[in-house]
Amino acid sequence: MLYQLQPNPIVAMNKAIASSYAISKENALKELQQIKGLEDHHLYYASIGEIYFDLENKSEAKKFFEKALELTSSGYDQQLLITRISNC
């Protein structure tokens, strides 16, 4: 409902992430890949990486985690992404 009231890329990303739990990981991945406007947002790439990781496609997950790492200056997020990359 929030997306109907506020259709923006961040809300769309959150909707897609929620659909990964409610519907399927594949559906969430499709929704995430259709979002425009988050190309410079590290959480967008990290979210796609998490979906690929959950789908056991660790090579794709690693690519997206690495892209997310390039885009963040947060020390906490960098450490988390480095850990995720090493788990791939």
CATH code of the domain covering residue 36: 1.25.40.10
Structurally, the chain folds into a number of domains equal to 1
Which CA distances in Å does 34 have to 29, 31, 50? 9, 5, 16
Question: Phi/psi at 46 (nearest 5 deg)?
Answer: -65, -40
Rounded to 10 degrees, the C-alpha dihedral 39/49/65/82 comes to 150
Structure tokens at 63: 């690519």
Q: Is the per-residue pLDDT at 2 higher than 80?
A: no
Q: How many residues in total does the chain contain? A: 88
pLDDT the model gives residue 25: 96
Helix H or strand E segment including 1: none
Q: What is the per-residue pLDDT across 28-86, written as a single tens digit (0 to 9) for each?
A: 999 999 999 999 999 999 999 999 999 999 999 999 999 999 999 999 999 999 999 99
pLDDT the model gives residue 45: 98
Average pLDDT of span 9-14: 94
- Residue 87: helix, strand or coil by DSSP? helix
Its domain, for residue 18, covers 2-87
pLDDT the model gives residue 3: 67
Residue 88 near residue 62 (C-beta atoms within 8 A): yes
